[in-house]
Structure 1
């Protein structure tokens, strides 16, 4: 950790119980005899809890000690989780898979981590991460019945098949519950926002050991309020970044029509919700003269008016004398969505015969997430890189025009013979069209997703014959998603209300509700995924070796999986029969998978154990794969174990990657990445850059490719566990993963660089779509609005690193026990090699920028938790550390460590240092047992009120990295709760 500050602060937090214990505990859903265990990634019963593969286990009690409300939050806090993880905060920023959360072990993306429920696969979330990657939504975990989570930080395709490239997260539910258990809690931030509540009730009857059965039913409810940027303190609550300074240089004032400390007036904005107009010349498709407020009598309304100085008025030839200032981030932006989750589960477990055990589990989970966006936009390109011809002819300009005459809706030709002068066009009497800019003050974009998950699982296991063991499991899971979008402008309807004059641009509040509903019709879309799976295995202790019995297991499995996600904004009926800005993603498909697998475990001698496993998978879509795995562990002395594994894995292309509609994501294009030859074409009269070339977002559009092959991986681990005493354990594990044929979009950066250099709009399989012209310099080279290309199997991804874990438990006296646990990951390498040999290096940078929304690859990530237990109560503290990183990303054209993405002001001067700072947050929990049935607890989250470090380049959230600081952005917060058991 850099500078030594992290250990010092972590040491000061000494006080918590080992929440992330290394290696495996028994698997509740498949519990054999008490002297054996079954762990994630294996088919066999084992006696030794020290596994060949590194496994982290966290129990529900461990999460409670940390003050973590949901299993989703606990998984996101894992040190091995990195970069492309999908957090709830992304939902509030227009993520493709809004409303969902996903883990990304080793920074290899959400599609390379397999999530299981009791060792069985789960249905994918109906929407894909970035419109391409399948994942299981962590928000659908039935928290109230989770016993523990096992995280296998090793490749496991030999056991589970596809997706287990970087590791496996196995959610293990409770096998048995006795009595009534109740829980209630409520929390809020110190400033009063982010209120949340949680209720849970579980009742179980029966005793497996005495009565031969147990049945329980459980229900839970959780709600968390939305948090908006305006709720936060500066600088996270405003577009004005002039308070962020470094070495005497301060950030820009990005308030629309703002005044910047370094250059003065920043240029005319098209973003405010007060309309401006100017005459439009159809012969050139350009506006002429200066803009003016459309309704001069109303002025700026509730916005701040600013009168340009004489010099500013002369410099900005399209601006009116008075403009309206608006802080868009303060007025509209949202930090966290409003979330509401509830669910009900039931399980029956019964002893069958002398050694068998059968179970049936049913789950229903309902998760609702909603967020608001900007005021409705009327001047933008349609989704998926399609230039909008509704506003322009050959130039591609997106200037919206108000006609001279208006006629009844549906009139083919409207002129003086059958129309009336347009009351919204102040130039109508002169026979001129009006170019109009601004946003609708009458509506705001709103998105809502409601996910319903139905799951049934059943199984039986036991012994038969001469020491044979069997297990049969099946699951059926359906995930339904309903998305609702309101406030988005339907392009053709906008043209209609302009043509008939029914939308009152002069006085928007006077527009009828019927017209508003017609202009922004509610869009509802239904998506669904299905999974039906059956698997069976048998195992046997074949004969004895010097170290124990040779174990052999074989199994078969079959599953059906499908996706039906129609586009909520297709262009089937032409580019105007659709919405502005709504995601155009859509995909559909189904496949059958048949599998056979085996595992052999050979304790050669007491000190040496060997393991071999393999799995063959056949897909009805044409893919076949065999994945082997080999492992060994060596114990030269009782206190030390050395372990190693080697495995092959694979990931089958998603339905979206193979045949999706065009999908567009957005990346930041900063001034630092634009060449001077381009920037110099867009100067103001005083030599400063005009607002046309400020930092903005480029849409990157990728289309499906049905010829894609499966990604292949190679995984190697080497480590050791040192246990000097029964109450103290240390482990260190090295991992090295190589993924070949990695699915990616074509390289956009080369095409972008070529466009700036030559102006060519087609390069190496990529098409450049230009933005509107710079109105102040209509002949200058235009900005890039979209780049288009397809998916390909092209890249090789390599990552390596080291996991560290230490746990200890010490009895101070008869009443006091002290426990401590450290879990940390150090990333040595995360690189992508492209065809031709070019290599991009991401560690300690914002890269892979395109894949992670600029949230980057931090070199160190870890946690340290400590507990002092007084018997009837406890005090705990957990410190989370995330390393800083350099403002660079090689997939954005720079070199790792070159600071090329450092944010700059309007003069092109960096107002931050080259590094985003490291970050530490500390949470504390106190509990007291009133009696054997009743317990009270209190959490203080982010005790020291540390705010996430300023990161003005990551675009998943405003001015901070959501993967690093999503929980801390709320500042200090509190939660109190109670548990009762009867």
Structure 2
């Protein structure tokens, strides 16, 4: 049977084949976006030197790589043609970047690595892609992706001096060592620059939000060839405003999902029939006498803190013994507090001096500084419930006199009396509690709600300092050498406001110093005591020295036999203490801030070689290898072999085989326990468990279940292990480059990566299923129950946390095909440049030691790697540029595939719709956008340009499961959620 999916694939393949007949190449190994209009100002040059002197990514031999490995090259002209204004965005839009990428929008929604962005080639996660600066390593971001994976933050790349980005889509541990399992992103800066150039631009979404601005200025002097030196300095400023959910159109701007056939998830919202659901808690403070009975607003005269009030009818009151008689406050958290993307502000400066040294050498010195700030606001702070994600106390109950958390429930108790001593308060040494309306009757009160001091706020400020120097030349007649050294330091400060400090909350309850009845009367000092500012600092460092020499040994029939050898030593370190430790006790910390923290350092010594043998004109062989030795006791040898066949001039066949490794991250080996949250679908909870929450609560009648069960996440707590071994990989590629004429090139490359001993926590699905079924929890797991439902205190609680330790366990496979086509045609007065890049992921799967297998392509999985953002089967873009004298118009079609709402690592069968809530169907549709760019050379030295991004105002399909964004997939959609956006600017060069 021919399925719709296979039909769509067939059409795309046929379209690619047809397109190949009218496409044209740059270089055989380069598959990147098309060039833009002719750049103004020939006086401002930013060349990289002659092609025969370039050492490209993946090779240490002079003369450049011959094309045995697939490489995507993005130039600054490419990015201009597509209307992309940051390197971070450019890398995120690579067709080979799949699934587990970390986006700026995701980091505004509770990601561990707040304020950062990272690439994930082949869907193998951010830690399996190596990011380099000019072929040298870069310091890791101090915080880890998902609390476990080291990566380089793409936001730290100085956009203004980038000449090109080379993406090696092949295993490269033989050249670069650890982490290059899925490939390498090498950011190459300008070698020299003469003149003065700059740009200024601004943009905004059509709906009036998402404003962004960029200015750059670069000045350089000295002709390197004639004067023997070149020096340039450069600076930039970039800013993008925060985007909030209330900026977006429905349904992305409200918790009320009735417009898409779903539930009304507004706090205390009413369903389609107008009936009030179970009592839920928002910003308004409620109390009830003792431990039973109905709640009432603490300050009835003030009404609801946010949103309107509704009055329950008799049937609703009869169905819920805790529901207030009146003033049930409704609150739309997504609309009032939701953030789509943080505010980002970046600025920095760079300088480079390059000089000829004698007749055969060239030396350089480069320095860079960049500061990136990212900030966003959150919800009102929690003041009830046990603090999650502790180090020593993942859940607790405490008694501090009469001010306490009720054991097992986490509900705050207001005592009858308050006193300065805060314990054992009586009429003799204290006064009646002014916050307890039942104190005069001798009754305690239970307090529920959120902090009345305002919303939480998070800010990260990253400062990156980098220096590099080196010399390249020829000695003893025919020995080519290259020596480089670099140092990079990242200083990260996190500032968090509005979070309630647990012990301080207990203090002000016990001594009565905080006015919960009328919070506006509290002094700034009292507010600051309840929610003190939390500042934590982290840092990372990288120091590297590397040297290579190469020589032509002798000539073969096909050309010179070249040999290169080299050595490297580097030191890397991370110091990221927990921002919220509980080492001083379970209450000496903040509510809801994660306790993640890690530190570590290591020195790595390496030796490597490369040999290239053009046996005959039609056959070229290559081999390379690298040995890495770690001060922490690990070592690894990584070999690689390649072959290039040219049976005829128009056809080149290429293939590689390599082995690689990924060293355990500092977080995996040394971190404090980390907790990530995964949305739990009610469809995964047995009816026998649901029945405790009412006769009407079942998988078949989810509307009858409390929001306690329908909208919650499970904390997956990961325990580090210092005994982890490196992950090992085997990869091979095979491809064909077809160039029927000089204007046309078509490439097809197959890749297959197998990673063994993958570091992971075992699937939590068996432990979750065992808890809900009431059976024995499997070995290796610890399931911690959550606080009880305030509306059903006698029912067995839902799961709070599942704990497990990291292990070397699984085998991961990634397999797929990359397609590329480029072309350039002169059609009379018009030059047409076209480029297609697409990736087809055939397989991304995990095989466990017992032989069972989970498949993820076309689904939401793997949650452990993708945070529920899915694994896309197809991803690609197609750019066409038409140049008319001084005018260039470019259009880019962007495509990201859809996926099934299921994930095998969440207990589903493959593509069984197991995560779907039922009202959106089983499949999230593919996402297609079109960007338009126009550029005009006003003079030889001035160009103006205009971008229309997402020209047809396409919004992404509804995804109610992915938790990195609300009702859509941030990795699939990118900035497309903004709708149609515009940007205009001007650049000059003299």
Query: What is the Cα deviation at residue 759 of structure 1?
Result: 5.3
Which string of whole-angstrom CA distances, capped at 9 and with x for unpartnered residues, describes residues 752-810 of structure 1? 111111255x4321111111223443332210011111111111101100000000111
User: What is the aligned partner in structure 2 of residue 790 from structure 1?
Assistant: 805
> Counterparts of 1:685 and 1:791 in 2: how far apart (Å)?
40
> Counterparts of 1:18 and 1:851 in 2: how far apart (Å)?
37
Q: Contact (CA 8 Å) 2:781, 2:802: kept in 1 or not? A: yes
SS at match of 1:93: coil
Structure 1 residue 235 corresponds to structure 2 residue 247: no
Query: What is the Cα deviation at residue 9 of structure 1?
Result: 15
TM-score (structure 2 length as normaliser):
0.94
Q: Contact (CA 8 Å) 1:277, 1:291: kept in 2 or not? A: yes
Matches within 5 A, 1:258-407: 258-261=269-272, 264-270=275-281, 272-280=282-290, 287-322=291-326, 323-384=328-389, 386-390=394-398, 395-407=407-419
Q: Summarize the Cα distance change of 1:798–1:320 in structure 2 as closer, same or farther, 3 Å threshold.
A: same
> Counterparts of 1:604 and 1:37 in 2: how far apart (Å)?
23
Which deviates further from its counterpart, 100-109 or 678-687?
678-687
SS at match of 1:264: coil
User: What is the aligned partner in structure 2 of residue 853 from structure 1?
Assistant: 867
Query: What is the Cα deviation at residue 22 of structure 1?
Result: 5.9
> Counterparts of 2:184 and 2:238 in 1: how far apart (Å)?
26
Structure 1 residue 461 corresponds to structure 2 residue 477: no
Structure 2 unaligned segments of length 5 or more: list them. 33-44
User: What is the aligned partner in structure 1 of residue 42 from structure 2?
Assistant: none
Q: Summarize the Cα distance change of 1:20–1:774 in structure 2 as closer, same or farther, 3 Å threshold.
A: farther
> Counterparts of 2:712 and 2:619 in 1: how far apart (Å)?
59
Matches within 5 A, 1:957-972: 957-972=965-980
Query: What is the Cα deviation at residue 838 of structure 1?
Result: 1.6
Query: What is the Cα deviation at residue 264 of structure 1?
Result: 2.1
> Counterparts of 1:953 and 1:935 in 2: how far apart (Å)?
45
> Counterparts of 2:370 and 2:31 in 1: how far apart (Å)?
27
SS at match of 1:901: coil
Q: Contact (CA 8 Å) 2:53, 2:63: kept in 1 or not? A: yes
Which deviates further from its counterpart, 104-113 or 688-697?
688-697
- Within the candidate set 502, 507, 515, 1:496 is matched to 507
- Within the candidate set 58, 63, 70, 1:41 is matched to 58
Query: What is the Cα deviation at residue 862 of structure 1?
Result: 0.4
After superposition, the CA RMSD in angstroms is: 2.2
> Counterparts of 2:451 and 2:733 in 1: how far apart (Å)?
56
> Counterparts of 1:118 and 1:827 in 2: how far apart (Å)?
29
User: What is the aligned partner in structure 1 of residue 36 from structure 2?
Assistant: none
Q: Contact (CA 8 Å) 1:566, 1:587: kept in 2 or not? A: yes
Matches within 5 A, 1:422-821: 422-683=433-694, 688-758=704-774, 760=776, 762-813=777-828, 815-821=829-835
Matches within 5 A, 1:202-213: 202-213=218-229
Structure 1 unaligned segments of length 5 or more: list them. 245-249, 281-286, 904-909
Query: What is the Cα deviation at residue 321 of structure 1?
Result: 2.0
Query: What is the Cα deviation at residue 849 of structure 1?
Result: 1.7
> Counterparts of 1:25 and 1:457 in 2: how far apart (Å)?
29
Matches within 5 A, 1:168-183: 168-183=184-199
- Within the candidate set 63, 68, 75, 2:84 is matched to 68
Query: What is the Cα deviation at residue 966 of structure 1?
Result: 2.3
SS at match of 2:148: coil
Which string of whole-angstrom CA distances, capped at 9 and with x for unpartnered residues, describes residues 546-570 of structure 1? 0001100000110111111111111
SS at match of 1:45: coil
Q: Summarize the Cα distance change of 1:496–1:13 in structure 2 as closer, same or farther, 3 Å threshold.
A: farther
Query: What is the Cα deviation at residue 442 of structure 1?
Result: 1.8
- Within the candidate set 812, 823, 829, 2:837 is matched to 823
> Counterparts of 1:832 and 1:251 in 2: how far apart (Å)?
33
TM-score (structure 1 length as normaliser):
0.95
SS at match of 1:966: helix
> Counterparts of 2:550 and 2:176 in 1: how far apart (Å)?
17
Q: Summarize the Cα distance change of 1:691–1:679 in structure 2 as closer, same or farther, 3 Å threshold.
A: same
Q: Contact (CA 8 Å) 2:888, 2:934: kept in 1 or not? A: yes
- Within the candidate set 942, 945, 948, 2:953 is matched to 945
Query: What is the Cα deviation at residue 672 of structure 1?
Result: 1.2
> Counterparts of 2:656 and 2:960 in 1: how far apart (Å)?
41
Q: Summarize the Cα distance change of 1:18–1:194 in structure 2 as closer, same or farther, 3 Å threshold.
A: farther
Structure 1 residue 256 corresponds to structure 2 residue 267: yes
Which string of whole-angstrom CA distances, capped at 9 and with x for unpartnered residues, describes residues 458-498 of structure 1? 01011111311000000010011011010011000000111
Query: What is the Cα deviation at residue 403 of structure 1?
Result: 1.0
Query: What is the Cα deviation at residue 426 of structure 1?
Result: 1.2
| Structure 1 runs, 4 residues or longer, greater than 4 Å off | 1-14, 16-22, 28-34, 391-395, 684-687
Query: What is the Cα deviation at residue 316 of structure 1?
Result: 1.5
SS at match of 2:258: coil
SS at match of 1:387: coil
Q: Contact (CA 8 Å) 1:19, 1:59: kept in 2 or not? A: no
Query: What is the Cα deviation at residue 262 of structure 1?
Result: 5.1
Q: Summarize the Cα distance change of 1:836–1:395 in structure 2 as closer, same or farther, 3 Å threshold.
A: farther
SS at match of 2:740: strand
SS at match of 1:725: coil
